[in-house]
């Protein structure tokens, strides 16, 4: 197993997969190999089916099962160079609408954030539609404060993109980058390095409680809210797609369901 895992790690690195994806693939491939040996299933197709069914029985999400299937497919196709195609369809994902915060709720959350640095990070993430990983990695050179734009480098899928920035944050951002070099992190920790995504998520949860917002929102809800509010303002969905960095317009169109003005104008018969 060790030789296979070492080879898989090398191939993942050579293909420039992100650290998060590499860790996930390595985890599921290791699980799959251990499962196959433990169950004594030698037929490849059956072994994969049993492995995925076991995950389903244990209540794991369709997203997790699909990621595990992708990992196993990568093992056979890219590492072991097995020419036999894996004839398995992906699990159906739950079609849940994103949790969107209202403008008033976001304002309450920002105001409830006592730490000024975290307050700016939360505000910027909403104003620019940033993921938590993206805001902690921002460097001084990534900001064009006078042009109200943010340059996001190496985002999900190794893609760069440009997003908008709010004029309201202009002075706050100027103050926080004062005296810093172009390659310094905008939001540094007390030790000088970048802040962790975990610390920002933890602060967001604390602010959510402090703001008395009862929605089951996460930090990513700021990004959902950014997209939804832009559509509500009449922004074309294709521009929203570019700002979010979505490869497919279908990914962006889910926000149109949340902000459908025709549905919101319908009055209940009660």
pLDDT digits (tens, 9 = 90+) for 183-226: 999 998 877 778 899 999 999 999 999 999 999 999 999 999 99
Sign of CA dihedral 258, 259, 261, 267: positive
The answer as to whether 164 is a domain residue is: yes
Kindly indicate the confidence band of residue 155, based on its pLDDT and cuts at 50, 70 and 90: confident
- Count Cβ atoms below 10 Å from residue 81 Cβ, excluding itself: 7
Is position 117 within any domain?
Answer: yes
Provide the CATH number for the domain around residue 34: 1.10.150.130
Pair 240, 255: CB distance under 8 Å = yes
For position 93, what pLDDT does the model report? 67
Is residue 109 classed as helix, strand or coil in its secondary structure?
A: helix
* Cα atoms found within 13 Å of the Cα of residue 258, Cβ hemisphere only: 23
Residues carrying an active site annotation: 131, 156, 220, 223, 246, 255
Domain extent at residue 16: 2-79
Helix (H, G, I), strand (E, B) or coil at 151: strand
- Confidence (pLDDT) at 104: 96
Global pTM exceeds 0.75 = no
Report the residue count for the chain.
270
Is residue 2 within 8 Å of residue 29, measured between CB atoms? Answer: no
Same domain assignment for residues 172 and 250: yes
Instruction: Compute the distance between CA of residue 53 and CA of residue 47 in angstroms, rounded to an integer.
Output: 10
Same domain, 71 and 27: yes
CA–CA gap between residue 267 and residue 65 (Å, rounded): 41
Q: Which of 18, 47, 79 is the last residue of a domain?
A: 79
The answer on 113 and 72 residing in a single domain is no
């Amino acid at each position: 197993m060790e030789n296979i895992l070492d080879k898989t790690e090398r191939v993942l690195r050579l293909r420039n997969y992100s650290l998060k994806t590499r860790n996930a693939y390595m985890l599921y491939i290791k699980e799959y190999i251990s499962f196959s040996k433990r169950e004594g299933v030698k037929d490849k197709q059956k072994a994969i089916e049993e492995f995925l069914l076991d995950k389903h029985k244990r209540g794991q999400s369709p997203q997790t099962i699909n990621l595990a299937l992708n990992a196993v497919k990568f093992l056979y196709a890219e590492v072991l160079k097995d020419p036999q195609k894996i004839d398995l369809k992906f699990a159906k994902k739950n079609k849940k609408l994103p949790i969107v915060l209202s403008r008033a709720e976001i304002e309450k959350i920002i105001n409830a954030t006592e730490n000024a640095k975290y307050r700016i990070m939360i505000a910027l993430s909403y104003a620019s539609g940033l993921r938590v990983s993206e805001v902690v990695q921002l460097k001084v050179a990534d900001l064009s404060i006078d042009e109200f734009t943010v340059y996001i480098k190496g985002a999900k899928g190794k893609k760069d993109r440009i997003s908008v920035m709010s004029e309201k944050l202009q002075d706050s951002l100027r103050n926080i980058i004062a005296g810093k070099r172009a390659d310094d992190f905008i939001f540094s920790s007390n030790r000088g390095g970048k802040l962790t995504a975990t610390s920002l998520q933890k602060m967001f949860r604390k602010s959510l409680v402090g703001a008395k917002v009862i929605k089951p929102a996460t930090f990513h809800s700021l990004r959902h809210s950014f997209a939804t509010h832009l559509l509500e303002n009449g922004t074309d969905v294709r521009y929203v797609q570019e700002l979010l960095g979505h490869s497919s317009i279908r990914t962006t169109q889910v926000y149109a369901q949340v902000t459908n003005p025709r549905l919101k104008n319908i009055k209940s018969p009660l």
